Amino acid sequence: MRERKFVHRALRMVLALGAICVAWQGALAAPDHVAMTTKGSVQGVARNDVVEYLGIPYAAPPIGGLRWKPPAEHSAWEGVRQATSFGPTCAQVTLLGVFAGPASNNEDCLSLNVIAPMQASANGEKLPVLFWIHGGGFVDGAGSDYDASKLAARGKVVVVTINYRLSLLGFFAHPALNKEGHLFANYGLLDQQFALRWVKDNIANFGGDPDNITVAGQSAGGASAAFNVISPLTRGMFHKAIIQSSASYLTAIPMEVAERKATAFAEAAGCGKGADEATASCLRNLPADALMKLSGPPDGFGPYVVTPVADGQIIPSGGASAFESGNFNHMPIMNGSTRDEGNFFAALPVYFSGKAVTQTDVESHVKTIFGGNAGAGGTPPAYPAGTVDRILAYYSSGDFGSPQLRMNAIQTDVMVCRIQRGTHLLAGKVPLYAYEFRDRTAPFMFPELPDFAPLAYHTADLQYLFPGFHGGNKGAKHDLNARQQKLSDELVDAWTSFARTGNPNPPGESTWPQYTSDPNAQSYLAQEIPELSAISDNDFTADHKCDFWKDLLVYN
């Protein structure tokens, strides 16, 4: 009898322990990671310390009659939509080779990705939202290029990355389309704004705060962030902006240039010279592959491609005019560059040709850029006579250890002095933080190039925010060492602190000074190894010879 009681007691203990183990395992098991949107439910996937909802359509496919029209609402779906893989890349010929793409003819590409800290929505939190716009010269790239897991997990923010229409499909201003009565020309920017509206409407269900959105991007993505700051159509839609490594927003392509190029494209595509409904219909019926062939080769812009256009509504004017007049959406802004921006652009022809930079290449570049008109899209005014000789003399070949370093200096200084101009125009109008990324030991994402020193090249900073950016299918694997990981942690903390509060300094810290117009004040954060430091506007000007360039560069 005692043995029977003992057996019963033991069985009860085993069953109780089993129930505890099942409950414990259930607590550790991933929840279903289903989130509701206005169009239906989506199933995400857990990875490390985040949940990723990938390839969520935010607009109807811009195909057929919707090509070259503002984005339209996507239809609702029944059941739970799987959001466990990225959506298709938008049509592109991949100007940046292995660092963008892949090459695509797909127009059904308007999707976004939400990366949230684990349990964000389950905990009822309202986390800051970082809305990231990819770069790529407005002709290539994709939201899937960016691993946002570290930003989301370490920074406790919800990150959204997006696709938007590119190249001729995204920025096209044919008169036959422009007179149809809808917003026109800047379809890629309209996509970005439509995605922002999706975020406002849906992000709370992913743990994000629709009243605390930061729009950020690098290169063309940085220009996009600035154009959205300028656009009256985004008023109230976001609250802070981060402009990384971009000055192209200071000017916008004049409408007459954009229309001239679009008309030439239509004729080349066999749609004639007209500006009527038949021409519009012909353009919309062009096969995507034929259209992309006319976009240009992988190693350069084609003759018909334009970047964002001053259309008068989406973009009333270039950034220089808007920032100077104060006619933009006022908010805290971060604006900065890398120490050697130009080295990326110096590397591209070396990558495509396999040949090292020569002094002839430097001279040819300067003649091409500074031997004609200085305005946006090749419009007047012309550079003053003698400008080419003046630049080549100032950047004398004898002052540099190689033609590549000379090319880097010229291309870098032109770009970063323009970026500094944007900083100067914003100063005093909004809370402003300026920086320069200076880690010249940053891993190089290109395959090995002949006689090439990478330095702190354009895009070098991205791998510190987005782990592994951007080895691509053929790019070089580039892990960060321990000191670089420390810098990565510091940058992630700064970016996400800014997204949270409008101040990049984490609580209790003051390493990063707010920018001031005093040229002697420590106004820039120098992001370098082994320690962060601060430099003055005068230091930046001297490093990049901005006093030399200020009378040459055109901003309006």
DSSP state, residue 18: H
Q: Which residues of 525-548 are buried (b: 16+ CB within 10 A; e: fewer)?
A: bbbbeeebeebbbebbbeebbbee
DSSP per position, 281-297: HHHHTS-HHHHHHTT--
Question: Minimal CA–CA distance to 429: which of 310, 280, 324?
Answer: 324
416 contacts: CB under 8 Å, gap ≥ 6: 247, 337, 341, 436, 540, 544, 546
Choose the weakest-confidence range: 90-99, 230-239, 333-342, 363-372.
90-99
The stretch 7-29 carries a mean pLDDT of: 39
SS3 content of the chain, % helix, strand, coil (to 5): 40, 15, 45
| Predicted confidence (pLDDT) at residue 18 exceeds the cutoff of 50 | no
Query: Is-same-fold flag (34-331; 335-549)?
Result: yes
Q: Quick: pLDDT tens for 389-424.
A: 999 999 999 999 999 999 999 999 999 999 999 999
Contact 250, 422 (CB under 8 A): yes
> Is pLDDT above 70 for 27?
no
Q: Are strands 171-172 and 185-186 parallel, antiparallel or unpaired?
A: antiparallel
pLDDT at 1: 44
pLDDT in tens, 209-225: 999 999 999 999 999 99
What's the confidence (pLDDT) of residue 445?
84
Q: Quick one: pLDDT band at residue 536, thresholds 50, 70, 90?
A: very high
The pLDDT of residue 20 is 38
27 or 49, higher pLDDT = 49
Neighbours of 24 (CB within 10 A): 10
Q: What is the pLDDT of residue 122?
A: 72
Separation between Cα atoms, residue 470 and residue 476, nearest integer Å: 8
Q: For residue 91, what pLDDT band results from cuts at 50, 70 and 90?
A: very high
Residue 8 is predicted with a pLDDT of 45
Whether residue 2 has pLDDT greater than 90: no
pLDDT of residue 104: 87
pLDDT value of residue 31: 54
Asked if 546 and 463 touch (Cβ cutoff 8 Å), the reply is no
Residue with the larger pLDDT of the pair 112 and 556:
112
Domain range 34-331, CATH class: alpha beta
Q: Are 193 and 187 in contact (CB under 8 A)?
A: no
Q: Which two tokens stand for residue 67?
A: 């090509």
pLDDT tens digits for 296-325?
877 678 899 999 999 999 999 999 999 999
For 58-62, 100-104, 150-154, 256-260, which range has the lowest pLDDT when averaged over its residues? 100-104
- Averaged pLDDT for residues 106-122: 92
- Tell me what percent of the residues of the chain surpass a pLDDT of 70: 91
pTM over 0.75: yes
- 252, HSE (Cβ side, Cα atoms, 13 Å): 29
Q: Quick check: helix, strand or coil at residue 537?
A: helix
CA distance 348 to 344: 6
- Model pLDDT, residue 543: 98
Which tokens in the block code for residue 128? 């800051």
Task: Please report the pLDDT score of residue 471 as a whole number.
Answer: 55
- Cβ burial of 399 (10 Å; 0-12, 13-18, 19+) is exposed
* Active-site amino acid positions: 219, 341
Q: What is the pLDDT of residues 270-282, one digit of tens each?
A: 999 999 999 999 9
Give the pLDDT of residue 403.
98
Looking at the domain covering 335-549, what would its CATH class be? alpha beta
**Which residue ranges make up each domain of the chain?**
34-331, 335-549
- Asked if 517 contacts 427 with a C-beta cutoff of 8 angstroms, the reply is yes
> Which residues contact residue 425 at a Cβ distance below 8 angstroms, ignoring those fewer than 6 apart?
319, 320, 323, 324
Q: At 3, is the pLDDT very low, low, confident or very high (cuts 50, 70, 90)?
A: very low
Q: How confident is the model at residue 476 (pLDDT cuts 50, 70, 90)?
A: low
Question: Could you give the CA distance from residue 412 to residue 19 in angstroms, rounded to a whole number?
Answer: 65
- Between CA 27 and CA 24 the distance in angstroms is 5
Is the pLDDT at 472 greater than 80, yes or no? no
Burial class (CB in 10 A: 0-12, 13-18, 19+), 79: exposed
Determine how many CB atoms are found less than 10 A away from the CB of residue 404: 24
As a whole number of Å, the end-to-end CA separation of the chain is: 99
Query: How does strand 333-338 pair with strand 432-437?
Result: parallel
Q: Are 135 and 143 in contact (CB under 8 A)?
A: no
pLDDT of residue 464: 97
Give the mean pLDDT of the chain. 91
> Hey, what's the torsion of the CAs at 80, 86, 87, 92, to 10 degrees?
180
Q: What percent of the chain has pLDDT over 90?
A: 82
Q: Which amino acid belongs to residue 496?
A: T
Summarize the confidence of residues 10-38 as an average pLDDT.
Answer: 53
- Quote the pLDDT of residue 24: 34
